[in-house]
Amino acid sequence: MMRRLTLAALAVFAACLAAGAGSFAAGLKIELPPPQAALAPGIGSDLARNRCLNCHSTDYIATQPPGKPLAFWKAEVEKMRKVYGAQVADDEIAPLAEYLARAYGSGQ
Ligand code: HEC
């Protein structure tokens, strides 16, 4: 009698576990946006790849609000240089900013 009860309780317990695990897994279904592995193609994209992707992924650039002007991207390049120590030569700031504004901003 005792043994039968124990087995029944175990079966119920196992069924609950299985159901619980199933709904837990279903609750974990998360869809992430596809990662932006490469920079947008265009004149200056090679320079940007060499100067901008040493420290962080393309996502930092690609997830900026769209339509930002050239001045925003120039300031961004200068900030990377001054604040974070990005290795960008003086005469590379303009071509980088122009590429970024074309590829990710308002273009001018
Ligand atoms: C020496 C390392 C380094 C390099 C090289 C670098 N960055 Fe960054 N970048 C950072 C750091 C650190 C942050 C801030 C990360 C954070 O706040 O989580 C950042 C953040 C950013 C952001 C997010 C907005 C912001 O201002 O924080 C953008 C856009 C960005 N970088 C663009 C660029 C571009 C364009 C280049 C190439 C010209 C570049 N980065 C090169 C280190 C670097």
Residue range 26-76, pLDDT digits in tens: 677 777 766 667 999 999 999 999 999 999 999 999 999 999 999 999 999
* Residues above pLDDT 90, as percent of the chain: 65
Q: Is pLDDT above 50 for 16?
A: no
Are the C-beta atoms of residues 74 and 102 closer than 8 Å to each other? no
Task: Report the separation in Å between the CA atom of 47 and the middle of ligand 1, taken as the mean of its atom positions.
Answer: 15
Is residue 85 within 6 Å of ligand 1 at its C-beta? Answer: yes
Pocket test for ligand 1, best of 45, 50, 51, 55 (most atoms within 8 A of CB): 55
In degrees to the nearest 10, what's the CA dihedral of 74, 77, 82, 85?
A: -170
Pocket test for ligand 1, best of 47, 64, 84 (most atoms within 8 A of CB): 84
Is residue 86 within 6 Å of ligand 1 at its C-beta? Answer: yes
